[in-house]
C-alpha cells in the first residue's frame, strides 16, 4: 500500500471527490493555482479545471455564505479556511445559517458543505495560527466536527464528511501533516513513512463519522484524545508503562459515546487530553458525560490535560502545549488510591 503523509492523503481524498462527483467543487484562499499554503490542494486546479478548484477573496464569511448558497442549489462545496483561527469571521454564517438551514426550512434546504481548516499548535505559529476552537463548534446543534489524527483516517473521514448531507467542520491538526508528533519537540522529527496509519490506499474509501478508534487497548485507565494529542498521549502511555486504553475520538460531533462509556466502565479511570484552553473546552463536556454515565464505576477523579487559560503564547509554545509529561502526571494522579 502506498505511504502518504496527511497532506498527500487529504489531497488524494479531494482528487477523488472531484473525479467522482461533478457537483463537488473546492474554493478558498490560495487553493487554486498555488495549491494552498499547506499544499493540500496541490495540482487539483491544473488537473480538474479552474472552476473546480479556485482562489477565494479574503472574506471567510463570504466563503461560507457562497458555499451555503451553492449547497442550496444542489452542489457539494468543500472550502478551505486557511487557518482554523480564521473561521471566526465566518462563525455567524456557520452557526446562524449553515447549522440551522435544514431545521428552520422544514427540510426544504440544507447545507451539505465541508469546511476544511488546518488547526492546532506545535508549529510556533503564535496566537492566530495555533488555536483549537473545536469546543465552540461542538456546542452548535446542526454542525458536525471531525478531527483526524493520521493520514489513513484523514482521507477516509474527509471523504465521509464530503458525502455527509450536513455541514461538517473538518479540522486538520497541522502539526501532524508531515509526521506523527508526540510532543517530544526535543527529539528528531518522525515521518508517516514508518507509521502504519501512513499506509493509505489510492482508492476511494470512507471512515464513518461518529466511530472512535481504540488506538491501544488497556485496562488501567482510559485516555480520551483527538488530533495531535492522540500521539502525545500514546507516547506518554508507552513511556509510563501504564496499561492505559487510548481512544482516538476522530469526530467529536457525532461523538462515539458507547465506546467511551464501555471503556471507562472497564477501567474506572479517565484522562481527557486536548490542546485547546481548559476552561470551557470540549474536555468539560467529555468529563461531564463520563461522570454522568460511569459515576459508580469511577475510582478516581476524571483528569483533564489541556492548554492553559491564556491566549496561545508564541515563545512559550512548549510550556503551553500539553506534552507527554503532563499526560503522564495526570495518569498517575488518576491511579492514586
Partner 1 sequence: MSDTNKLHLHIPAPKARPGDAVTFDHMAIPAAGKLRRPEIKAPEDQLRDLPYDLIRVLDDEGNAVGPWNPSLSADHLRRGLRAMLLTRLFDDQLFRAHRQGKTTFFMKSTGEEAIGAAQSLALGASDMCFPTYRVVSWLMARDYPVVDLVNQIYSNASDPLKGRQLPILYSARDYGFYSLSGNVGTRIGHAVGWAMASAYKQDDKIAIGYIGEGSTAEGDFHEALTFASVYRAPVLLCITNNQWAISSFQGIAGGEATTFAAKAIAYGIPGLRVDGNDFLAVHAATIWAAQRAKANLGATLIELFTYRAAGHSTSDDPTKYRPATEAQAWPLGDPLERLKQHLILIGEWSEERHEKLTVELTEVVKSACREAEAIGTFGKSRPGTREMFEGVYKDPDWRITEQRRELGV
Ligand X SMILES: Cc1ncc(C[n+]2csc(CCOP(=O)(O)OP(=O)(O)O)c2C)c(N)n1
Instruction: For strands 213-216 and 244-248, give the pairing.
Output: antiparallel
Say whether residue 271 binds partner 1 (CB under 8 A): no
10 Å Cβ neighbour count for 193? 11
Which of these ranges, 69-77, 146-154, 215-223, 295-303, lies near partner 1 under the rule CB under 8 A? 69-77
Among 3, 91, 126, 297, binds partner 1 (CB under 8 A): 126
For partner 1, the closer CB: 71 or 151:
71
* Interacting partner of 129 out of partner 1, ligand X, a copy of itself, none (Cβ under 5 to 8 A depending on kind): partner 1
H or E segment and range at residue 117? strand 114-119
For ligand X, the closer CB: 82 or 228:
82
Spatial separation of the C-alpha atoms in residues 90 and 239, rounded to whole Å:
41
Among 30, 199, 238, 239, binds partner 1 (CB under 8 A): 30
Site residues (CB under 8 A) for partner 1, limited to 294-313: 308-311, 313
Site residues (CB under 8 A) for partner 1, limited to 94-123: 96-97, 100-110
How many residues contact partner 1, by CB under 8 A?
Answer: 78
Catalytic residue of the set 48, 129, 195, 274 = 129
Among 124, 191, 217, 333, binds partner 1 (CB under 8 A): 124
Strands, sheet with 270-277, edge to edge from the N-terminal-most edge strand = 213-216, 244-248, 221-225, 270-277, 303-307
Closest approach of ligand X to the CB of residue 29, in Å: 5
Among 121, 281, 322, 324, binds a copy of itself (CB under 8 A): 281
Spatial separation of the C-alpha atoms in residues 202 and 181, rounded to whole Å:
24
Closest approach of a copy of itself to the CB of residue 223, in Å: 16
Report how far apart, in Å, the C-alpha atoms of 179 and of each of 10, 12, 34, 194, 195 are: 14, 17, 23, 9, 9
For a copy of itself, the closer CB: 127 or 191:
127
Block residue for cell numbers 492546532? 120
Using alpha carbons, select from 118, 63, 129 the residue that is nearest to residue 91: 63
Q: Cα–chain-centroid distance for residue 137?
A: 12
Site residues (CB under 8 A) for a copy of itself, limited to 140-199: 140-142
Which residue's Cβ lies closest to ligand X? 86
β-partners of residue 271 are: 223, 303
Is 129 one of the annotated active-site residues of the chain? Answer: yes
Closest approach of a copy of itself to the CB of residue 64, in Å: 12
Spatial separation of the C-alpha atoms in residues 231 and 207, rounded to whole Å:
19
For a copy of itself, the closer CB: 10 or 99:
99
For partner 1, the closer CB: 101 or 270:
101
Contacts of 19 (CB under 8 A, 6+ apart): 48
For ligand X, the closer CB: 6 or 31:
31
Spatial separation of the C-alpha atoms in residues 147 and 249, rounded to whole Å:
8
The three three-digit cell numbers of residue 269, written as one number:
479511570
Say whether residue 337 binds a copy of itself (CB under 8 A): no
Spatial separation of the C-alpha atoms in residues 144 and 4, rounded to whole Å:
26
For a copy of itself, the closer CB: 9 or 68:
68
Taking a C-beta distance cutoff of 8 angstroms, is the pair 293, 246 a contact?
no
Block residue for cell numbers 502518504? 4
10 Å Cβ neighbour count for 311? 14
Say whether residue 276 binds partner 1 (CB under 8 A): no
Binding interface with a copy of itself (CB under 8 A): 85, 88-89, 91-92, 95-96, 99-100, 103-104, 127-128, 135-136, 138-142, 253, 276-277, 279-289, 291-292, 295, 298, 300-304, 309-311
State the catalytic residues. 129
Amino acid at each position: 500500500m502506498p505511504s502518504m503523509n496527511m497532506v498527500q492523503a487529504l489531497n488524494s481524498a479531494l482528487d477523488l471527490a472531484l473525479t467522482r462527483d461533478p457537483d463537488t467543487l473546492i474554493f478558498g484562499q490560495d487553493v487554486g493555482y498555488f495549491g494552498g499554503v499547506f499544499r493540500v490542494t496541490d495540482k487539483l486546479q491544473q488537473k480538474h479545471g479552474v472552476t473546480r478548484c479556485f482562489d477565494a477573496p479574503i472574506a471567510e464569511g463570504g466563503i461560507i455564505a457562497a458555499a451555503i448558497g451553492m449547497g442550496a442549489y444542489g452542489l457539494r462545496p468543500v472550502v478551505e479556511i486557511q487557518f482554523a483561527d480564521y473561521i471566526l469571521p465566518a462563525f455567524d454564517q456557520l452557526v446562524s445559517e449553515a447549522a440551522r438551514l435544514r431545521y428552520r426550512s422544514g427540510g426544504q434546504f440544507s447545507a451539505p458543505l465541508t469546511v476544511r481548516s488546518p488547526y492546532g499548535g506545535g508549529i510556533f505559529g503564535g496566537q492566530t495560527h495555533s488555536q483549537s476552537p473545536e469546543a465552540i463548534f461542538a456546542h452548535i446543534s446542526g454542525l458536525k466536527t471531525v478531527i483526524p489524527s493520521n493520514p489513513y483516517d484523514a482521507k477516509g473521514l474527509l471523504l465521509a464528511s464530503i458525502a455527509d448531507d450536513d455541514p461538517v467542520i473538518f479540522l486538520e491538526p497541522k502539526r501532524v501533516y508531515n509526521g506523527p508528533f508526540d510532543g517530544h519537540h526535543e527529539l528528531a522529527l518522525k515521518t508517516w513513512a514508518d507509521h502504519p496509519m501512513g499506509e493509505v490506499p489510492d482508492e476511494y474509501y470512507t471512515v464513518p463519522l461518529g466511530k472512535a478508534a481504540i488506538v491501544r487497548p488497556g485496562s488501567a485507565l482510559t485516555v480520551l484524545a483527538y488530533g495531535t494529542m492522540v500521539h502525545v498521549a500514546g507516547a506518554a502511555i508507552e513511556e509510563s508503562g501504564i496499561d492505559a486504553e487510548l481512544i482516538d475520538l476522530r469526530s467529536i460531533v457525532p461523538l462515539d459515546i458507547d465506546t467511551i462509556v464501555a471503556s471507562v466502565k472497564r477501567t474506572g479511570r479517565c484522562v481527557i487530553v486536548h490542546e485547546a484552553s481548559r476552561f470551557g473546552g470540549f474536555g468539560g463536556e467529555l468529563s461531564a458525560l463520563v461522570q454522568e454515565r460511569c459515576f459508580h464505576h469511577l475510582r478516581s477523579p476524571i483528569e483533564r490535560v489541556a492548554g492553559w487559560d491564556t491566549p496561545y503564547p508564541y515563545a512559550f509554545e512548549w510550556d503551553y502545549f500539553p506534552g507527554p509529561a503532563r499526560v503522564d502526571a495526570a495518569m498517575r494522579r488518576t491511579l492514586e488510591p
